[in-house]
């Protein structure tokens, strides 16, 4: 992987982590188009670095919210922010269970099966189309909603199912306020990303042997900057009910991916 490829993949990760078009699916498509020949260990390390960058961009965008949440927790009071943290924990449970019990099965979907990614993008398109037609209600995310949203996040571990698209769409279809749905969706993924990174590091799955740290660095910077832009942009788009544009995009890319996968 050269520097240009790292920048391209970093930008893809940064934008698609927050825009509802599936970051994992686009990374698979990007690697296939660029002909990424990285050894599995190097590819895993690069992917982890990109996810770390987008997690940091989320923290920067929602820094005020995170400070308020941490301050509330230190006060040991049962208020709205403390309840929000508990809802985040509840939403994480399905993905944690699926990730631990079906890790090998999930990894089998990331072997360059472009046609599968295409079909999953069509499902993402349907979710976005339905959510865009829902009315804004002003209702907050409840504990029950948090669990259901968490289930959609677990399903979104498949490449081609957008995590932000699935969680925001599920939340909106449950009747939650669109801006609150976006806030919950972006904040709920931070613990999962850092948890996955810690698991990979402690499990000895990452290696720095034969690693080009220049490509890692530029990939990180590209993902971080594009993540800042996409996260801020996505919040505005959700409020204005502009998800249908991404639905059309997912249909087009999904059909192209299916064609490429079946006939290449």
Domain ranges of the chain: 3-263
CA distance 33 to 128: 26
DSSP state of 112: S
**What residues have CB less than 8 Å from 191, skipping those under 6 apart?**
88, 89, 92
Q: For the chain, what percent of residues have pLDDT higher than 90?
A: 25
Q: pLDDT-derived band of residue 251, with 50, 70 and 90 as boundaries?
A: very high
Which backbone phi and psi does 176 adopt, to 5 degrees?
Answer: -85, 155
Higher-confidence residue: 240 or 157? 157
With beta carbons less than 8 A apart as the criterion, state whether 234 and 242 touch: no
In this predicted structure, the answer to whether residue 62 has a pLDDT above a threshold of 60 is yes
Cα separation, 17 vs 11, whole angstroms: 10
DSSP-derived letter for residue 141 is P
Chain segment 134-165, per-residue pLDDT in tens: 777 778 889 999 999 999 999 988 888 888 88
3-state secondary structure at position 176: strand
**Dihedral pair phi/psi, residue 136, rounded to 5°:** -80, 125
Which residues are within 8 A (CB) of 127 and not within 5 positions of it... i.e. 6 or more apart? 162, 165, 166, 169, 170
243, pLDDT greater than 50:
yes
155 contacts: CB under 8 Å, gap ≥ 6: 161, 166
Answer with the residue of higher pLDDT: 41 or 11: 11
Q: Where residue 264 falls among pLDDT bands split at 50, 70, 90?
A: low
pLDDT for the residue numbered 40: 44
Residues 232 and 61 sit within 8 Å (Cβ to Cβ): yes
Confidence at residue 216, expressed as pLDDT on a 0 to 100 scale? 86
pLDDT score of 204: 67
List CB contacts of 117: < 8 A, sequence separation 6 or more.
Answer: 22, 25, 28, 29, 159, 160, 254, 257, 261
Mean pLDDT of 14-42: 70
- What is the pLDDT at residue 39? 39
Q: Are 202 and 35 in contact (CB under 8 A)?
A: no
> What is the average pLDDT score of the chain?
83
Mean pLDDT confidence for 39-52 = 69
DSSP state of 139: B
Regarding predicted confidence, which is higher, 255 or 193?
255
Query: How far is residue 97's CA from residue 142's CA, in Å, rounded to a whole number?
Result: 21
């Amino acid at each position: 992987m050269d520097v240009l490829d790292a920048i391209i993949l970093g930008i893809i990760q940064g934008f698609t982590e927050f825009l509802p078009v599936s970051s994992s699916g686009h990374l698979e498509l990007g690697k296939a188009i660029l002909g990424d020949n990285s050894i599995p260990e190097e590819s895993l390390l690069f992917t982890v670095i990109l996810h770390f960058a987008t997690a940091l961009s989320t923290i920067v965008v929602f820094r005020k919210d995170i400070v308020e949440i941490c301050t509330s927790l230190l006060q040991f009071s049962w208020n709205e922010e403390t309840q929000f943290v508990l809802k985040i924990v509840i939403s994480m449970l399905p993905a944690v269970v699926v990730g631990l019990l079906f890790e090998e099965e999930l990894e089998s979907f990331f072997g360059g099966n472009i046609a599968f990614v295409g079909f999953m993008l069509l499902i993402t398109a349907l979710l976005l189309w339905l959510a865009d037609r829902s009315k804004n209600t002003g209702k907050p995310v409840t504990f029950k909603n948090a669990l259901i949203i968490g289930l959609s996040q677990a399903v979104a571990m498949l490449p081609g199912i957008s995590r932000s698209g699935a969680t925001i769409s599920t939340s909106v279809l449950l009747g939650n306020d669109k801006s609150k749905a976006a806030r919950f969706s972006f904040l709920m993924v931070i613990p999962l990303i850092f948890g996955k990174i810690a698991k990979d590091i402690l499990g000895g799955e990452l290696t720095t042997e034969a690693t080009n740290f220049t490509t890692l660095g530029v990939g990180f910077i590209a993902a971080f900057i594009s993540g800042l832009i996409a996260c801020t942009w996505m919040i505005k788009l959700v409020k204005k009910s502009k998800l249908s544009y991404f639905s059309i995009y997912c249909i087009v890319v999904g059909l192209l991916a299916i064609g490429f996968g079946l006939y290449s």
